[in-house]
């Protein structure tokens, strides 16, 4: 036994370099002869580019070149593509207006790229950018979705009413029928607040062009270098894969925001061939705020139909989703297939209908952010169910239990396309109720009252679809790529192993978790195993990391490649030990012949594979190096229950999260410590969304929350000590039986927090508060309640 296999809380091997300043991030890389870029960005949310005069800038000291959108257009550079095509209710495809990497003729959000200045130093590039004279024809901006849909001002002239698509899922007639026979109808209007991702490392890129080979290289802060190579190479710059290398080295956090193909990547790569030298660009923090794709930003109206006893009969949802000024890579899939397909939640609601309109506005594009669609769905459902409990006078715990899918109902076909493969929501719910001492809450509430505090408790139960995704299913739903994963397991002659994975680690700890899989498989310690990812010249192919897919999809690929290695090694062992291959057994790193004391160590076989003096050469090739591609059978479906308890100071509106309990079913746990860390991180972001974070554009499309003075990230002192546990049933749709843990914290937690706050404020008659529930907002709600009560 190695002690580093599946189930061990192995310390993260990558942390040594991260914590000692030895990480190799894009900005740490410098190429010989490198120049530096500065991107001139639009200060206007919407304007025509009447002229861009670069004549002074090109003459400035140190400047190598200045390019504008006109230059790229003249070169036939393509539009940045969207990776997922959605269809309207009438079957027609969504609107896909052009998205030039450098704005051409028009700018559409504050931060839109207008020109690139390439100079010997970053300061020289920046100073020269000041000399570019842009004549903007300022146009009215559309920022809120209702104004956009009214269509007075068009973000794209060829998109009427700024509507990207008007999509639906579910059975409208069945839902209408359900509502017709309902005893109770409960409705709610919600905003899911827009978030700014704030990865610790800002985006950065270095491009290079080799004149002797016509080979392009791009180092970039990406969660999926092969996807960038495909999107940028095939659609934007027309560079074939064999002439384009994309490297995503250490990446300091992504949370989704580094999935997408960003304009800067294409601009730099294109320009490198113009100036014949490497070009480096690193975003400033304020550029990150203004130009990283934002998350969430939904407005929804939802209605739940219930019978007399509280049984859910039907659910109707109408959502408007802000998609920003351009379609980002997965912008269209987030508010549709990653959102409305989860509307059954953990409940047996028999009839569900959801319609979603996505709207172009003069704001930065909106795309996936930790949870991507599933937090929006969970927030809607769990707010609505809690409101239903209150409105019709049923205990929120009982109402949930009465409607939950029972363990024996899996696989459970929902009315909104997905089939949940396995799960046990009642069990995680029960555990969370127990762990949070839900039964003892009323006493704690009474105690809090004595010290003048309002105490509340909030529940959220959820199920989510991750491990994206079976390629055939995704393709049928409009994905323009497969969503399998690949692995190459290369056993070296002396028995150490390098694994090339198509997923990408940007904080998740794959170098540890994946090594544990190999350690388990080969019976060798993890210090003999290297996990390599991020370089398209090294890794065969891959779809990258997002949607909690790396272990659920990338893991089985590694496992399958390991099994291929073992199969071949057994043949070698059989030959050398003169036994029948069916008699060869492999365990704990040793090949043995059944019923004898003959054995060979793993490293002896690997050496034999590369020094094939005594080798079954007629039967197998030398070497021990295997590939596997894995396409999952289904999504995986983590689920769980989150319970939040808060105390509010009615004098100040200050909300203190007293306790937060999360019981999550993530299937098999490979590294419990890393899983716990992932849940903690997700909860911090979920509590951030619920209480602190909110992106604000003014009516002119100016970003007002563009720095940490105005955009509040959660800090340690905003958070309680989390009580987290995992429990549940093993995943049913992949051989590792894992489900995915990266997003659950951010998915389940926001409604638990808001439900707790509303529970605390219920005695004052407050029945709604929007995220982020800041102290000011809570205080305001309390004041309005006082005024209301005084009037009564």
Partner 1 sequence: MEMSGEYKINATREKVWAGLNDPEILKQSIPGCEEIDQTSDTSFTAKVTAKVGPVKAKFAGSVQLTDIDAPNGYRISGEGKGGAAGFAKGGANVQLEDDGDGTLLKYEVDAQVGGKLAQLGARLIDGTAKKMASQFFENFAEAVTEGEDGATDAPAAAAPAPASAAAGQVTAMSQVGAGTWVSGLVVAAIVLFALFG
Which of 700, 720, 769, 775 binds partner 1 (CB under 8 A)? It is 700
Please identify, among the stretches 36-44, 484-492, 513-521, 634-642, the one whose residues bind partner 1 according to the rule CB under 8 A: 36-44
Q: Quick one: 79 or 702, whose CB is closer to partner 1? A: 702
Please identify, among the stretches 34-42, 72-80, 400-408, 623-631, the one whose residues bind partner 1 according to the rule CB under 8 A: 34-42
Q: Could you give the string, one character per residue 261-290, with x where binding to partner 1 holds by CB under 8 A and - elsewhere?
A: -------------------------x--xx
Which of 704, 713, 730, 787 binds partner 1 (CB under 8 A)? It is 704
| Ramachandran region, residue 509 (left: φ > 0; alpha: ψ -120 to 50; beta: rest) | left
* DSSP type of residue 236: I
Which of 126, 243, 492, 571 binds partner 1 (CB under 8 A)? It is 126
- Asked if residue 791 binds partner 1 (CB under 8 A), the reply is no
Please identify, among the stretches 195-203, 364-372, 704-712, 766-774, the one whose residues bind partner 1 according to the rule CB under 8 A: 704-712
Which of 12, 36, 41, 549 binds partner 1 (CB under 8 A)? It is 41
Please identify, among the stretches 11-19, 548-556, 635-643, 703-711, the one whose residues bind partner 1 according to the rule CB under 8 A: 703-711
Q: Quick one: 49 or 433, whose CB is closer to partner 1? A: 49
Tokens of 146: 């209702």
Distance, CA of 783 to CA of 769 (rounded, Å):
13
Please identify, among the stretches 14-22, 297-305, 530-538, 695-703, the one whose residues bind partner 1 according to the rule CB under 8 A: 695-703
Size of the site for partner 1 (CB under 8 A): 22
Q: Quick one: 446 or 707, whose CB is closer to partner 1? A: 707
Find the shortest distance in angstroms from Cβ 709 to partner 1.
Answer: 7
Find the shortest distance in angstroms from Cβ 142 to partner 1.
Answer: 16
Q: Quick one: 186 or 703, whose CB is closer to partner 1? A: 703
Cα 31–Cα 33–Cα 37 angle in degrees, nearest 5:
80
Query: Per the omega criterion (within 30 degrees of 0), is the bond before 772 cis?
Result: yes
Please identify, among the stretches 187-195, 240-248, 252-260, 697-705, the one whose residues bind partner 1 according to the rule CB under 8 A: 697-705
Tokens of 156: 């794209």
Which of 698, 767, 768, 784 binds partner 1 (CB under 8 A)? It is 698
Find the shortest distance in angstroms from Cβ 787 to partner 1.
Answer: 24
Find the shortest distance in angstroms from Cβ 197 to partner 1.
Answer: 16
Residues 333-352 touching partner 1, rule: CB under 8 A, are: none
Find the shortest distance in angstroms from Cβ 702 to partner 1.
Answer: 4
- Asked if residue 703 binds partner 1 (CB under 8 A), the reply is yes
Distance, CA of 488 to CA of 94 (rounded, Å):
38
280: helix, coil or strand?
strand
In Å, how far from its chain's centre is CA 723?
24
Q: How many CB atoms lie within 10 A of CB 56?
A: 14
**Those residues with Cβ within 8 angstroms of residue 191's Cβ, 6 or more apart along the chain or in another chain:** 298, 299, 300, 770, 771
- Asked if residue 706 binds partner 1 (CB under 8 A), the reply is yes
Q: Quick one: 153 or 627, whose CB is closer to partner 1? A: 153
Find the shortest distance in angstroms from Cβ 367 to partner 1.
Answer: 20
Q: Quick one: 67 or 522, whose CB is closer to partner 1? A: 67
Q: Could you give the string, one character per residue 289-308, with x where binding to partner 1 holds by CB under 8 A and - elsewhere?
A: xx------------------
Alpha helices per DSSP H over 596-671: 602-610
Residues 44-73 touching partner 1, rule: CB under 8 A, are: 44-45
Distance, CA of 519 to CA of 521 (rounded, Å):
5
Please identify, among the stretches 35-43, 270-278, 297-305, 440-448, the one whose residues bind partner 1 according to the rule CB under 8 A: 35-43
Q: How many CB atoms lie within 10 A of CB 390?
A: 18
**Those residues with Cβ within 8 angstroms of residue 440's Cβ, 6 or more apart along the chain or in another chain:** none
Cα dihedral value 323, 329, 335, 340, nearest 10 = 170
Closest to 154 in 3D by CA, of 2, 48, 226: 48
Q: Quick one: 116 or 539, whose CB is closer to partner 1? A: 116
Find the shortest distance in angstroms from Cβ 288 to partner 1.
Answer: 11
Q: Quick one: 108 or 261, whose CB is closer to partner 1? A: 108
Extended strands (E) in 58-143: 63-68, 106-107, 113-119, 133-138
Tokens of 561: 């490649």
702: helix, coil or strand?
coil
Q: Quick one: 702 or 727, whose CB is closer to partner 1? A: 702
Which of 35, 42, 322, 634 binds partner 1 (CB under 8 A)? It is 42
Which of 15, 53, 130, 537 binds partner 1 (CB under 8 A)? It is 130
Contact 771, 694 (CB under 8 A): yes
> HEC states along 432-499?
HHHHCCHHHHHHHHHHHHHCCCEEEEEEEEEECCECCCCHHHHHHCCECCCCCEEEEEEECCCCCEEE
Find the shortest distance in angstroms from Cβ 704 to partner 1.
Answer: 5
Which of 33, 91, 709, 792 binds partner 1 (CB under 8 A)? It is 709
Q: Supply the angle between the helices 602-610 and 555-576 in degrees, to the nearest 10.
A: 80
Alpha helices per DSSP H over 658-774: 672-691, 744-761
| CA-to-CA dists, residue 387 to 13, 200, 377, angstroms | 46, 37, 15
Please identify, among the stretches 38-46, 96-104, 311-319, 401-409, the one whose residues bind partner 1 according to the rule CB under 8 A: 38-46
Find the shortest distance in angstroms from Cβ 130 to partner 1.
Answer: 4
Closest to 754 in 3D by CA, of 736, 767, 765: 767
Find the shortest distance in angstroms from Cβ 63 to partner 1.
Answer: 15
Which of 146, 189, 588, 710 binds partner 1 (CB under 8 A)? It is 710
List the beta bridge partners of residue 217.
208, 245
Q: Supply the angle between the helices 510-522 and 555-576 in degrees, to the nearest 10.
A: 30
Q: Quick one: 9 or 147, whose CB is closer to partner 1? A: 147
Please identify, among the stretches 408-416, 669-677, 700-708, 768-776, the one whose residues bind partner 1 according to the rule CB under 8 A: 700-708
Which of 95, 110, 188, 283 binds partner 1 (CB under 8 A)? It is 110
The residue whose two tokens read 């999952």 is 632
Backbone angles phi, psi at 631, to 5 degrees: -120, 120
Find the shortest distance in angstroms from Cβ 135 to partner 1.
Answer: 11
Which of 40, 251, 593, 753 binds partner 1 (CB under 8 A)? It is 40
Q: What share of the chain is helix, strand, coil (3-state, %, to 5)?
A: 35, 25, 40
- Asked if residue 775 binds partner 1 (CB under 8 A), the reply is no
Find the shortest distance in angstroms from Cβ 706 to partner 1.
Answer: 3
Residues 558-587 touching partner 1, rule: CB under 8 A, are: none
Strands 497-501 and 529-533: parallel
Residues 162-221 touching partner 1, rule: CB under 8 A, are: none
Extended strands (E) in 543-602: 584-587, 590-593, 599-601
Contact 354, 141 (CB under 8 A): no
Residues 423-482 touching partner 1, rule: CB under 8 A, are: none
Find the shortest distance in angstroms from Cβ 275 to partner 1.
Answer: 22
Contact 117, 63 (CB under 8 A): yes
- State whether the Cα torsion 690-693-695-696 is positive or negative: positive
Please identify, among the stretches 203-211, 517-525, 683-691, 705-713, the one whose residues bind partner 1 according to the rule CB under 8 A: 705-713
Strands 163-170 and 63-68: unpaired
Closest to 720 in 3D by CA, of 695, 759, 686, 669: 686
Which of 49, 57, 118, 129 binds partner 1 (CB under 8 A)? It is 129
Residues lying near partner 1 in the complex (CB under 8 A): 40-45, 110, 126, 129-130, 286, 289-290, 698, 700, 702-704, 706-707, 709-710
């Amino acid at each position: 036994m190695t002690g580093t296999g599946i189930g061990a809380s192995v310390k993260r091997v990558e942390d040594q370099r991260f914590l000692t300043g030895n990480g190799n991030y894009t900005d740490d890389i410098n190429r010989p002869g490198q120049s530096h870029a500065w991107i001139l960005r639009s200060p206007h949310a919407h304007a025509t580019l009447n002229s861009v005069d670069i004549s002074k800038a090109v003459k400035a000291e140190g400047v190598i070149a200045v390019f504008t959108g006109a230059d790229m257009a003249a070169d036939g550079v393509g539009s940045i593509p969207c990776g997922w095509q959605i269809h309207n209710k009438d079957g027609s495809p969504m609107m896909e207006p052009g998205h030039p990497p450098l704005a051409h003729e028009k700018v559409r959000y504050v931060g839109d790229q207008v020109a690139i200045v390439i100079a010997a130093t970053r300061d020289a590039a920046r100073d020269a950018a000041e000399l570019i004279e842009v004549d903007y024809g300022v146009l009215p901006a559309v920022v809120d979705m209702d104004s956009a849909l009214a269509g007075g001002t068009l973000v794209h002239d060829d998109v009427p009413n700024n509507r990207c698509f008007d999509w639906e899922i579910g059975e409208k007639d069945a839902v209408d029928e359900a509502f017709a026979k309902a005893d109770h109808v409960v409705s709610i209007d919600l905003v899911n607040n827009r978030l700014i991702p704030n990865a610790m490392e800002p985006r950065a890129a270095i491009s290079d062009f080799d004149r002797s080979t016509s080979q392009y290289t791009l180092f970039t802060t990406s969660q999926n270098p092969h996807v960038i190579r495909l999107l940028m190479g095939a659609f934007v710059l027309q560079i074939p894969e064999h002439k384009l290398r994309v490297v995503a080295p250490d990446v300091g956090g992504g949370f989704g925001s580094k999935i997408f193909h960003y304009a800067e990547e294409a601009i730099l790569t294109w320009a490198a061939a113009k100036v014949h030298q490497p070009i480096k660009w690193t975003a400033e923090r304020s550029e990150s705020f203004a130009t990283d794709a934002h998350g969430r930003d939904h407005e929804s109206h939802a209605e739940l139909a219930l019978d007399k006893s509280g049984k859910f009969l039907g659910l109707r949802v109408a959502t408007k989703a802000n998609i920003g000024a351009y379609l980002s890579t997965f912008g269209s899939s987030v508010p549709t297939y990653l959102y409305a397909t989860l509307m059954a939640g953990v409940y047996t609601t028999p009839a569900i209908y959801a319609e979603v309109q996505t709207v172009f506005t003069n704001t930065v594009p909106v795309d996936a952010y930790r949870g991507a669609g599933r937090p929006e769905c969970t927030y809607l459902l769990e707010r609505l169910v809690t409101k239903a409990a209150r409105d019709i006078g049923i205990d929120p715990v009982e109402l949930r239990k009465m409607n939950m899918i029972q363990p024996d109902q899996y696989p459970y076909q929902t009315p909104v396309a997905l089939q949940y493969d396995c799960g046990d929501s009642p069990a995680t719910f029960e555990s969370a109720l127990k762990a949070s001492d839900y039964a003892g809450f009323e006493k704690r509430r009474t105690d809090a009252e004595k010290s003048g505090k309002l105490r509340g408790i909030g529940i959220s139960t959820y199920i989510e679809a991750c491990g994206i995704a079976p390629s055939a299913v995704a393709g049928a739903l409009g994905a323009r790529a497969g969503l399998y994963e690949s692995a190459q397991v290369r056993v070296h002659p002396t028995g150490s192993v390098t694994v090339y994975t198509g997923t990408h680690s940007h904080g998740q700890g794959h170098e540890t978790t994946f090594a544990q899989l190999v350690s388990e498989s080969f019976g060798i310690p993890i210090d003999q195993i290297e996990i390599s990812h991020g370089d398209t010249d090294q890794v065969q192919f891959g779809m990258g990391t997002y949607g909690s897919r790396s272990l659920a999809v990338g893991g089985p690929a590694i496992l399958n490649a390991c099994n291929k290695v073992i199969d071949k090694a057994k043949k070698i062992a059989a030959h050398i030990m003169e036994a029948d291959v069916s008699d060869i057994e492999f365990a704990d790193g040793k090949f043995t012949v059944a019923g004898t004391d003959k054995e060979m160590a793993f490293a002896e076989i690997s050496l034999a594979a590369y020094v094939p003096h005594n080798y079954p050469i007629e039967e197998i090739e030398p070497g021990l190096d295997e590939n596997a591609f894995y396409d999952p059978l289904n999504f995986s479906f983590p689920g769980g229950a989150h319970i939040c308890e808060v105390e509010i100071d009615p004098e100040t509106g200050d909300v203190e999260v007293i306790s937060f309990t999360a019981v999550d079913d993530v299937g098999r746990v490979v590294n419990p410590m890393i899983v716990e860390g992932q849940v903690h991180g997700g909860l911090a972001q979920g509590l951030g969304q619920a209480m602190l974070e909110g992106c604000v554009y003014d009516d002119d499309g100016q970003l007002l929350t563009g720095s940490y003075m105005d955009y509040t990230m959660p800090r340690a002192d905003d958070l309680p000590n989390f009580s987290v546990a995992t429990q549940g049933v093993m995943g049913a749709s992949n051989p590792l039986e894992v489900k995915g843990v990266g997003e659950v914290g951010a998915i389940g937690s926001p409604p638990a927090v808001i439900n707790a706050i509303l529970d605390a404020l219920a005695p004052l008659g407050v029945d709604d508060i929007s995220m982020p529930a800041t102290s000011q907002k809570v205080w305001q709600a309390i004041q309005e309640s006082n005024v209301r009560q005084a009037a009564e």
